């Protein structure tokens, strides 16, 4: 009897140990190439925990997952793992436009079901491990005890394994228009005050909070990028850093009441992403963000076309002309002013004669569209005295004849591009949206640049909160019915939704060229953007400024553009976008028609892209093959360091010769002292050619590679 009892006790003990070990056991997942490994477990307190490794190096130390809810015990502790399903996925899909003709979507998946027995509810954490990184999200299935809930805060952690070098901008609920700071993670708190400039909307944010996409480099050479994908019906994520323990934690954008999200099951969060490689070029080439978004939801995409455009814009940004028709602000009131009786200020940019000048230029040099800002009434009131002013989007100023200008543009093979400044009054825009979009269709417009300058109306909402994120997507979806492409400025930064809705052809959502007229950007700014802002989607950066000293203004009140002319050419390749503007004034291009030729030639849609050299903050060299063409274009840029780009042309067809036209910094070029010094060189190259190109401070080069004709082969020498 004693032996039986002893045996029973041992069996009970073994069973208990087995159950404990099962509850503490980590589920593991590896990437298709075996270089990345994910471990998932549930702690003794019932906290979900994950870790990430790359080539056996720690990328993310044990990090907790969960959400804090309002008036609820929350979804952070008390979990037990009840299920774990694995799957593999491998497909190749074709984007409507993009950096490459086809994209491979290949990953291994782990879906973990977690139960809170005390509350009788459950959630799923879904992990997808790609060769270049990790994506994971929270899923909330429909269930009786988790129906409608309010998020007080999301507490997703990213525990760093060291004091990495980071390229960051301050956390903010309303703008990303900052210059980047390079520092150690431990230095962010001390540098934050200097990084928060007058364009900040910070009111209650952490002194160690930063925005995504966040780019980092470890001491032993790993490149790590933190971001999110598929931001739908949710608040934008910032990252708050515990700088003592080097742990980032999600920090969502609040609404007017301070709540972070309103959810009703079934629902899910956006994907949280961690990209990692020991080669910076892999970060730039990754399509992880796009692959975590749903496939295209537009059946007929034939009307969605990449666009190269010019516009009545830079002259207003620099102060040469105005958006407003009159300076008589006090007499202008919404709905009360007869503009035909108002005194013109003589500097209104969107007038018939000036717009026709831009149309002539676009038609002559092969541009698709002409953007015109300041065409519709009301700019005086908005700039003048009424904080609650709203536009109607259909009423032109007296000196802007919509029908005549559209007809004139059509005769030149050009279209006008619409501009909708919403004055940050989202509800007003939604009320007018159908009428505004129909007005576009009736008058030949098929693309709109929308703006959200100012504090959001209703008061208290933020540009990056759930409420506004839903609005931005509503505008894009509504535009589909009218076959309109959307380029939203001041909207939330992209998270790959352009895969699902490819009529979302561009966004601003970062510090663009306009800041070169307001005070400038650091020389390394455009070497960082591809690693940060462009991870989520293309940017309407508006490059191509040739008169970098803004000499036409004749004063010293404005800044200068912190690049060389050659670097401005290179940006058309290094900053990918299917929407590219030649932003300078027509007369500045006509003074440099030899350099302007590259802007005319360069494509805006691509079959292939090769990242030849890359180091965040220092340099990028990219080669791209034009869509349905044998032509390649290469762009190289540098920060505030002089360097020599060295690269092979082994991406070319080995059986062909190409005419190489190089637009490079001149020998004496410098972005401060001699920015317009450039040189142009031509010669024959092949796939065996190797090029070395000197880049000045904040300089660069652009290279076109066009298949050689028999005449070219007779008349041109081989490249030396």
| Catalytic residue selected from 182, 514, 516, 695 | 514
Dist. CA 521–CA 524, nearest whole Å: 8
Token code pair at residue 438 = 């129909």
Dist. CA 619–CA 624, nearest whole Å: 17
Q: How far apart are the first and last CA of the chain?
A: 96
Is it true that the peptide bond before 262 is cis, omega within 30 degrees of 0?
Answer: no
Give catalytic status of residue 587 as yes or no.
no
Whether residue 675 contacts residue 584, with contact meaning beta carbons closer than 8 Å, is answered with no
DSSP codes joined into one string, 80-149: EEEEEEEEEEEEEE--SSSSSS-EEEEEEEEEEEEEETTTTEEEEEEEEEETTEEEEEEEE--BTTBSEE
- Alpha carbon of 477 to those of 39, 486, 655: distances in Å? 38, 10, 46
Token code pair at residue 163 = 């004091």
Question: Is residue 209 within a helix (H) or strand (E), and if so which, with residue range?
Answer: strand 209-211
Dist. CA 503–CA 303, nearest whole Å: 9
Task: Judge residue 12's burial from the number of C-beta atoms within 10 Å of its C-beta, 0-12 exposed, 13-18 middle, 19 or more buried.
Answer: exposed
Dist. CA 252–CA 69, nearest whole Å: 13
**Beta strand pairing call for 700-707 and 658-665:** antiparallel
Tell me the angle at which helices 426-442 and 466-480 cross, rounded to the nearest 10 degrees.
10
The answer for residues whose C-beta is within 8 angstroms of residue 467's C-beta and 6 or more apart is 255, 461
Token code pair at residue 470 = 């839903």
Give the 3-state secondary structure of residue 647.
strand
Dist. CA 89–CA 632, nearest whole Å: 32
Dist. CA 394–CA 376, nearest whole Å: 7
Cα pseudo-dihedral 611, 614, 617, 623, rounded to 10 = -30
Dist. CA 4–CA 2, nearest whole Å: 5
**Beta strand pairing call for 369-372 and 307-312:** parallel
705: β partners: 632, 660
Please choose, from the candidates 584, 575, 720, 710, the residue with its C-alpha nearest in 3D space to the C-alpha of residue 662: 720
Tell me the angle at which helices 402-411 and 352-365 cross, rounded to the nearest 10 degrees.
20
Whether residue 611 contacts residue 284, with contact meaning beta carbons closer than 8 Å, is answered with yes
Dist. CA 493–CA 508, nearest whole Å: 8
Q: What is the set of active-site residues?
A: 514
């Amino acid at each position: 009897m004693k032996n039986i009892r002893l045996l029973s006790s041992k069996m009970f003990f073994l069973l208990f140990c087995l159950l404990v070990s099962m509850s503490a056991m980590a589920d593991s997942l590896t990437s298709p190439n075996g270089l990345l490994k994910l471990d998932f477990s549930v702690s003794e307190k019932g906290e979900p925990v994950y870790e990430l490794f790359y080539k056996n190096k720690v990328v993310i130390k044990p990090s907790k997952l969960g959400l804090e809810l309002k008036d609820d015990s929350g979804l952070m502790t008390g979990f037990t793992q009840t299920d774990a399903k694995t799957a593999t996925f491998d497909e190749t899909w074709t984007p409507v436009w993009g950096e490459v003709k086809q994209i491979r979507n290949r990953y291994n998946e782990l879906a973990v079901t977690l139960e809170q027995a005390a509350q009788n509810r459950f959630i799923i954490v879904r992990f997808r491990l790609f060769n270049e990184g990790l994506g994971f999200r929270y899923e909330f299935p429909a269930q009786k005890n988790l129906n409608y809930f309010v998020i007080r805060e999301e507490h997703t952690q990213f525990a760093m394994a060291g004091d990495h070098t980071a390229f960051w901008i301050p956390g903010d609920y309303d703008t990303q228009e900052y210059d980047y700071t390079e520092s150690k993670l431990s230095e962010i708190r001390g540098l934050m005050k200097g990084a928060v400039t007058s364009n900040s909307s910070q009111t209650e944010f952490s002194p160690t909070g930063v925005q995504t996409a966040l780019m980092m480099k470890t001491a032993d050479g790993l490149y790590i990028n933190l971001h999110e994908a598929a931001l739908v019906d949710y608040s934008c994520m910032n990252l708050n850093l515990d700088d003592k323990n080097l742990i980032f934690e999600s920090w969502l954008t609040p609404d007017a009441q301070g709540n972070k999200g309103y959810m009703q099951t079934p629902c899910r969060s956006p994907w949280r992403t961690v990209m990692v490689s020991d080669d910076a070029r892999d970060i730039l080439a990754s399509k992880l963000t796009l692959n975590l978004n749903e496939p295209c939801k537009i059946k007929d995409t034939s009307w969605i076309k990449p666009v190269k455009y010019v516009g009545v814009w830079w002259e207003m940004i620099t102060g040469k002309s105005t958006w407003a028709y009159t300076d008589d602000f006090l007499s202008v009131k919404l709905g009360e002013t007869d503009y035909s009786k108002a005194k013109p200020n003589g500097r209104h940019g969107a007038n018939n004669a000036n717009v026709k000048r831009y149309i002539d230029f676009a038609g002559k040099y092969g541009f698709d569209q002409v953007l015109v800002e300041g065409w519709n009434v009301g700019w005086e009131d908005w700039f003048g005295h009424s904080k609650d002013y709203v536009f109607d989007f259909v009423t032109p100023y007296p000196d802007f004849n919509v029908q005549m200008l559209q007809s004139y543009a059509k005769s030149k093979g050009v279209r006008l591009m619409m501009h909708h400044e919403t004055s940050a009054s989202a509800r007003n825009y939604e009320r007018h949206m159908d009428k505004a979009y129909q007005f576009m269709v009736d008058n030949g417009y098929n693309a709109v640049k929308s703006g959200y300058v100012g504090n959001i109306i209703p008061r208290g909402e933020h540009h990056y909160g759930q409420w506004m994120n839903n609005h931005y997507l509503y505008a894009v979806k509504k535009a589909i019915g009218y076959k309109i492409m959307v380029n939203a400025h001041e909207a939330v930064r992209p998270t790959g939704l352009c895969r699902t809705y490819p009529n979302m052809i561009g966004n601003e959502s970062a510090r663009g060229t306009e800041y070169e007229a307001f005070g400038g950007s650091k020389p390394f700014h455009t070497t960082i953007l591809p690693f940060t802002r462009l991870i989520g989607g293309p940017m309407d950066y508006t490059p191509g400024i040739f008169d970098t000293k803004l000499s036409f203004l004749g004063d010293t009140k404005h800044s200068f553009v912190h690049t060389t002319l050659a670097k401005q050419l290179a940006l058309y390749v290094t900053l990918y976008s299917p929407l590219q503007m030649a932003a300078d004034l027509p007369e500045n291009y006509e003074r440099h028609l030899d350099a302007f030729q590259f802007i005319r030639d360069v494509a805006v849609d691509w079959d292939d892209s090769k990242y030849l050299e890359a180091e965040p903050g220092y340099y990028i060299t990219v080669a791209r093959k034009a869509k349905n063409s044998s032509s390649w274009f290469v762009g190289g840029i540098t920060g505030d360091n002089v360097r020599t780009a060295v690269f092979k042309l082994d991406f070319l067809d080995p059986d062909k010769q190409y005419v190489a036209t190089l637009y490079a910094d001149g020998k004496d070029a410098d972005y401060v002292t001699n920015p317009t010094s450039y040189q142009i060189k031509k010669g024959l190259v092949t796939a065996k050619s190797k090029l070395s190109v000197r880049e000045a401070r904040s300089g660069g080069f652009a290279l076109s590679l066009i298949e050689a004709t028999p005449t070219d082969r007779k008349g041109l020498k081989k490249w030396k």
